Structure 1
Amino acid sequence: MTDLLRRPSRSDVLTVGVDIGGTKIAAGCVTADGVVVDRTRRRTPDLSTAPSVVEDTIVDAVRELAGRNRVLAVGIAAAGFVAADRRTVLFAPHLSWRREPLRDALYGRLRLPVVVENDANASAWAEWRFGAGRGESHLVVVNLGTGIGGAVLVGGVVQRGRYGIAGEFGHMQVVAGGHRCECGNRGCWEQYASGNALVREARALAASGSPTAHALLRAAGGDPTAITGPLVSEVATAGDPAAAELLAEVGEWLGVGIANLVAAYDPGRVVVGGGVSEAGELLLAPTRRAFSRSLTGRGFRPEADVVAARLGNDAGVVGAADLARPFARRLARARYRREQARAARPD
């Protein structure tokens, strides 16, 4: 039997995952084992840009990868509200998508199966399949970035909710009348336990003139507005007590919110991912302490493990690509059957 007629194997099925964030579009060609074998990236178009320009950028990235690899399906991880049918982006805060029929628009141009998923759901799927959530039947994933996103998986199924918008954990209100949130409400969890919260408090400390902030200010070149989340983590890791205290404060709020999620979902494991989680135990140790202290029924119930995510920035790409894999397998089998039929025809 020729290579053309060889039955497609698991290793033959390559899919592209595209992770669309507020500043960058990352795309990768991913194997069935969750390994990114080729990648590219683009700058995310401005919020005021027409949806068609964003689609142009995605198509360009996918075609680049498809030009070097045999791609059979595409998964899109979008930062925004994705409808339950995974065809439409209802709202994306960093893009001009409003009820955008993204799946059909991309399929019409790529002529490949396309799956659209919320970026936090895609990341959670990747951690469940290949990372820190592997083997756990009841999993909660919390992603700490600019805000807080997340997902719940039960029995290997992402719980998307009736309308596809489940997992917006960052907008649980934890402080009545607290800090104003971009969503319009006050006191949302992400205003106290996210990258934005960490940066806000670090800049306020530096701007106050407190001598405890000298290491942060020195690292920022004397400009409080130049302080970023990664810089706070870097200074804390180098041993600065003020930066470590800032991370601990975020960790305490994170632990309180996780206790609420565990009370609601009773998972066996909570995976903490996103950029802020790269601070490691400087964040997670105070998180676990606050979680244990705040958990309802503490001392009389099993506690979920709280662990760091493993896949880092690749989680969205890997998860989106893997969610598209069933469609890729169907396409590979259909192509194989067509080739078999052609080969069986008499000359």
Structure 2
Amino acid sequence: MHLAQHSATLAHRGLKLSHLRLLAALAETGQIGQAADRMSIAQPAASRLLAEVERIVGAPVHLRTGRGMVLTPVGEALALRAQRIQTELRDAARDIAEVAAGETGHVRIGSVTGPAIGRVLPALREVCLHAPRISAEVKIAGSEQLCEQLLAGNLDFAIGRLPEGPSRALFDITPIATEPVSLVVRSSHPLISKPKLLPADLSAYDWVMPPPAAILTRTVLERLRAHGLPSPKQVLATDSFLMIFALLQHSDSIAPLARTVAECFASAADAPYRALAIDLGIEVAAFGLITRTGAILPPVAARFAAEIHAQPKGTL
């Protein structure tokens, strides 16, 4: 009889976890009474389990001695397997507990750029510090793309804003914070050394912003109009931060960027970029944590979501 067939026969004949637990305890104690105590059962019940094992296996699994009992080679083989199974079960229980507590697993997060730097990155650092068995992937994109990915099941949740139109009903959102905007230029820009910077001074320069439909662009233009300023010249429209920073470095362009982004790339003394010393009060509408309507986050995703909420505004 093949080994696989014999294993199937043991299961079909009724070999149970309680039988294996008894054999493991006997291997460790050599006493039926002590084995029964470990299992929290009476000794007669342990003796019945032992007799059942021998009936199922079809061979003796123990021999009595003057000091107690010893396992036969058949009993030792079963006991070794039983100990391994118990170890695996303990490991499984620990894994289940860690999953339930959000201490292990994989999370897929989508975010617009500002919150990705100001909230998702610090949350990732904090969670992984205390739960190193967690892994994460973060997709950076515009809110509409993130919502599409969320509906497709490619993300657990997103940090952004709801799309316009009827598709908004497909999502739940928990608001987190508004997004202040800074005006960023290269460190040697002419406006950096200007003693008193006025809003009108900004009109002499080209601005680089996302395409016209983007919420950042619309917010900037509305705020400029509120200051009585014309729409700025815009030679390049892009939502690529690589392109934006490359253009800033090689021109006198001005880029409106989320303040968390500006603080990350333009605050160090030797940074190649600077935030202009002027505040036009540009603040993009609140972003939030977006999920599919009625969705329940897995424990690891829920842990990340809570940590993102808990991040102080502007944390880096």
TM-score (norm 2): 0.29
Structure having the higher Rg: 2
TM-score with structure 1 length normalisation? Answer: 0.27
